[in-house]
């Protein structure tokens, strides 16, 4: 089978399966198969796959055709300038979360060194590791309720030489951190925010493959925001920010929760598509 034919076959099957990015997914998968950038894979269109490559290609096509995420098939995803290992144990990071990371990096970098930050619900470690890499003076604490997610996050930290910069904590809520000997300069979080009844309406790649723990925000999607609004103030220095990602249409409700709990609202930031996506609040000074 020629490379050209392999791409054409995959693209056709992906389109039939309802995958909008059929051509790009076919090229990205073939690049992974050949261990080259996907554009280079296309330049090899006249070459032939070996029998073992062809057999592996059939298995990869079948997995994506079944709506398994591309990132789970390759085992990797890009996040800012990091390559991160992902699996069905962690949420695949989204582009909007890169905006959250960039905002958090700018705020943490502006604090007098040394700094301390908390990533609440770390998942793959994308936010914690982005902060650790971009702000060398920072010490990051990463909290997650899933031991499987923390296993993936730790592996990503080791791969990027950041393992000694991050403290990993397993548990539900801020109580898992113990006492508050030294409040944080910043807290960042992309918590679960999908209302429970809406999860079945999500794309199969998300509904059937992302961990439900990372998706389910309770009946109205706001359960984690209520917890953070109620409990996080003492964990921050006076004036220090909490940056939160939220879902479509949740801007007003999330902001109201934090204002009602005594937080100072700084701003609501938009994602790359122009939608309200990130709330920045702060602990009052004094």
Asked if 232 and 249 count as a contact pair (C-beta separation under 8 A), the reply is no
The 10s digit of each residue's pLDDT in 222-267 is 999 999 999 999 999 999 999 999 999 999 999 999 999 999 999 9
Give the fold, CATH level 3, of 76-282. Answer: Rossmann fold (3.40.50)
pLDDT at 40: 78
pLDDT attached to residue 243: 98
Please state at what angle helix 95-109 crosses helix 126-134, rounded to 10 degrees.
40
Average pLDDT over residues 72-88: 96
- Does residue 39 have a pLDDT over 90? no
The pLDDT, as a whole number, for residue 38 is: 73
Q: Any idea which of 42-51, 64-73, 79-88, 155-164 has the lowest mean pLDDT?
A: 42-51
| pLDDT of res. 286 | 72
Q: What pLDDT does residue 51 have?
A: 94
pLDDT of residue 113: 87
Sorted by where each begins, the domain ranges of the chain are 3-66, 76-282
Query: First CA to last CA across the chain, in angstroms?
Result: 70
Please report the pLDDT score of residue 134 as a whole number.
Answer: 97
Query: Residue 162's pLDDT band (boundaries 50, 70, 90)?
Result: very high
Residue range 148-157: average pLDDT? 98
Beta strands at 76-79 and 82-85: parallel, antiparallel or unpaired? antiparallel
Q: What share of the chain in percent tops pLDDT 70?
A: 100
- Looking at every residue in the chain, the average pLDDT score rounds to 95
Contact 163, 97 (CB under 8 A): no
Reported as a pLDDT band with limits 50, 70 and 90, residue 46 is confident
Residue 8 three-state SS = helix
Number of H helices, E strands in the chain: 11, 9
pLDDT of residue 37: 82
């Amino acid at each position: 089978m020629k490379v050209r034919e392999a791409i054409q076959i995959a693209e056709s099957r992906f389109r039939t399966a309802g995958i909008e990015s059929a051509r790009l997914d076919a090229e990205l998968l073939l690049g992974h198969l050949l261990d080259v950038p996907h554009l280079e894979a296309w330049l090899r269109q006249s070459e032939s796959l070996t029998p073992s490559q062809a057999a592996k290609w059939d298995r990869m096509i079948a997995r994506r055709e079944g709506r398994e995420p591309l990132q789970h098939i390759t085992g990797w995803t890009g996040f800012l300038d990091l390559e991160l290992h992902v699996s069905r144990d962690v949420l695949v990071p989204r582009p909007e979360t890169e905006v959250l990371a960039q905002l958090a990096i700018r705020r943490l970098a502006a604090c007098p060194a040394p700094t301390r930050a908390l990533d609440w619900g770390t998942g793959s470690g994308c936010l914690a590791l982005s902060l650790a890499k971009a702000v060398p003076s920072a010490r990051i604490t990463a909290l997650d309720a899933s031991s499987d997610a923390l296993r993936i996050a730790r592996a990503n930290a080791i791969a990027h030489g950041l393992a000694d910069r991050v403290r990993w904590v397993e548990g539900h809520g801020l109580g898992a951190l113990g006492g508050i000997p030294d409040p944080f300069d910043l807290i960042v979080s992309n918590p679960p925010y999908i209302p429970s009844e809406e999860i079945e309406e999500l794309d199969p790649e998300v509904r059937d493959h992302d961990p439900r723990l990372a998706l389910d925000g309770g009946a109205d999607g706001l359960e984690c925001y209520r917890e953070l609004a109620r409990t996080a103030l003492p964990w921050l220095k006076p004036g220090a920010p909490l940056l939160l990602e939220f879902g479509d249409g949740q801007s007003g409700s999330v902001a109201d929760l934090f204002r009602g709990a005594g937080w100072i609202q700084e701003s609501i930031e938009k994602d790359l598509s122009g939608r309200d996506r990130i709330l920045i609040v702060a602990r009052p000074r004094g």
